[in-house]
Amino acid sequence: MAQPGSIVKVVVPVAGMGTRLLPATKSQPKEMLPVGRRPVVQYVVEELQAAGLRQILFVTGRKKTAIEDHFDPDPELVRTLSSGGGYDLLSELEYTETPARFFYTRQSVPRGLGDAVAHAQEFTGDEHFAVALGDSIIMSRDGSSFLHEMMAAHLANDAACTLAVEEVDPADVYRYGIVKPQGEVGSGDSLIIEDLVEKPRAGAAPSNLAIAARYIFSPAIYEAISRTAPDRNGELQLTDAIRLLLQLGERVQAVRLRANARRYDIGNFESYFKAFIDFALTDEKYGYMVRQYVKRKAREI
Ligand code: UTP
């Protein structure tokens, strides 16, 4: 049986327009918005590296070149800091010295997440691969790699698709893709999935387990995407392609986010603000100051 380490490629879709974050995203990628001291996509790349995913394909689009620039080593900036007494800031650029290799492809028109993933077909070939949404951070408190766990479950069960899922408030199910697990929701490592529903009404949802921005796929997903019809907005939805995998009799499973892990989706202002506050409060360098400030402020409001 293949080992988790045998999955080395990951696709990071970052081509969406981020309309829910306008005007902040009018001329810059939402994936570059800072959460605490780093842009969102830097946390994503750190997570991928921790999982041993060394070949990273960004599916980019218009106005997204800042992402490419961010991961490029910058010898001129390094020289300026070295000669101008900015030595202590050099460590902030260490993330650019990475064994990971970056690849870029362009989705010129954002036609949905399914279409974005389809752009990776030549890159991943006949290998299993991961997909990590560039606007969502997954942080585990003990530093363990949730993606690694997902890859192990994926390969052990020879699945066509392994989804990350997290429990959400039943009142919030209408915001998410919700899975229908087979039978009772057990405590096992992976749940077999029977169906998926995109943004169900509260009360009509088959569970409160929401798809959480990380996926592992076999190459079968490409066939499913190519056979998926666009939705009424003309977008190819990844969840529709996964439903097709189910109809084709493929194994679709889910791994639940552990209690010690959290997902931060910064796709709308409410969750973006919450993510920023959490990261600022726990920042190694500035957290103490922020906590004092917030305590003072809390007394005023
Ligand atoms: P979202 O659907 O949340 O992003 O996609 P969006 O379309 O940019 O958001 P709104 O609705 O306009 O505010 C989740 C991730 O998938 C990427 C996005 O860049 C984001 O990181 N994505 C989405 C693509 O790469 N291509 C697409 O066609 C759609």
pLDDT > 90? residue 202: no
Domain count within the chain: 2
Mean pLDDT (the chain, rounded): 93
Q: Do residues 275 and 239 both lie within one domain?
A: no
Percent above pLDDT 70 for the chain: 97
Q: Do residues 175 and 290 both lie within one domain?
A: no
Give the dihedral sign, CA 64/68/74/76. Answer: negative
Q: Using CA atoms, how far apart are residues 138 and 48, in angstroms rounded to an integer?
A: 10
User: What secondary structure, in 3-state letters, does 26-44 show?
Assistant: CCCCHHHCEECCEEHHHHH
What pLDDT sits at residue 301?
Answer: 86
Q: Do residues 240 and 99 both lie within one domain?
A: yes
CA of 141 to the centre of ligand 1 (A): 27
pLDDT > 80? residue 183: no
Q: Which atom of ligand 1 is nearest to the CA of 110?
A: 28
Q: Using CA atoms, how far apart are residues 172 and 170, in angstroms rounded to an integer?
A: 5
What mean pLDDT is predicted for residues 85-96? 87
Q: Quick check: CB of 20 below 6 Å from ligand 1?
A: yes
What pLDDT sits at residue 5?
Answer: 58
Q: Do residues 178 and 30 both lie within one domain?
A: yes
Q: What is the pTM of this model?
A: 0.95
Which carries the bigger pLDDT value, residue 245 or residue 259?
A: 245
Identify which of 67, 135, 237, 272 to mutate to test ligand 1's pocket (most ligand atoms within 8 A of the CB).
Answer: 135
Q: Quick check: CB of 116 below 6 Å from ligand 1?
A: yes
What pLDDT sits at residue 2?
Answer: 45
Q: Do residues 176 and 301 both lie within one domain?
A: no
pLDDT > 50? residue 1: no
Q: Which atom of ligand 1 is nearest to the CA of 60?
A: 25
285 is in which domain, residue-wise?
Answer: 268-301
What mean pLDDT is predicted for residues 180-201? 82
pLDDT > 80? residue 227: yes
Q: Which atom of ligand 1 is nearest to the CA of 31?
A: 21
Q: Do residues 225 and 295 both lie within one domain?
A: no
CA of 20 to the centre of ligand 1 (A): 10
pLDDT > 60? residue 101: yes
For 24, 91, 201, 271, the CA distances from 267, given in Å and listed in that order, are 11, 29, 20, 7
Q: Do residues 230 and 274 both lie within one domain?
A: no
Q: Using CA atoms, how far apart are residues 57 and 59, in angstroms rounded to an integer?
A: 6
Residue 186's pLDDT band (cuts 50, 70, 90): low
Q: Do residues 203 and 261 both lie within one domain?
A: yes
pLDDT > 70? residue 197: yes
Q: Do residues 209 and 297 both lie within one domain?
A: no
Q: Which atom of ligand 1 is nearest to the CA of 235?
A: 28
Q: Using CA atoms, how far apart are residues 126 and 181, in angstroms rounded to an integer?
A: 28
Q: What's the CATH code of the domain at 263?
A: 3.90.550.10
What pLDDT sits at residue 141?
Answer: 83
Residue 21's pLDDT band (cuts 50, 70, 90): very high
Q: Do residues 140 and 272 both lie within one domain?
A: no
CA of 17 to the centre of ligand 1 (A): 6
What pLDDT sits at residue 185?
Answer: 59
User: Are the C-beta atoms of residues 49 and 98 closer than 8 Å to each other?
Assistant: yes
Beta carbons within 8 Å of 187's beta carbon, 6+ residues apart: none
Q: Do residues 297 and 250 both lie within one domain?
A: no
Residue whose Cα lies nearest atom 4 of ligand 1: it is 16
Q: Quick check: CB of 107 below 6 Å from ligand 1?
A: yes
CA of 142 to the centre of ligand 1 (A): 29
List, for residues 121-164, the tens digit of each pLDDT value: 999 999 999 999 999 999 988 888 999 999 999 999 999 999 99
Q: Do residues 109 and 215 both lie within one domain?
A: yes
Q: Which atom of ligand 1 is nearest to the CA of 21?
A: 13
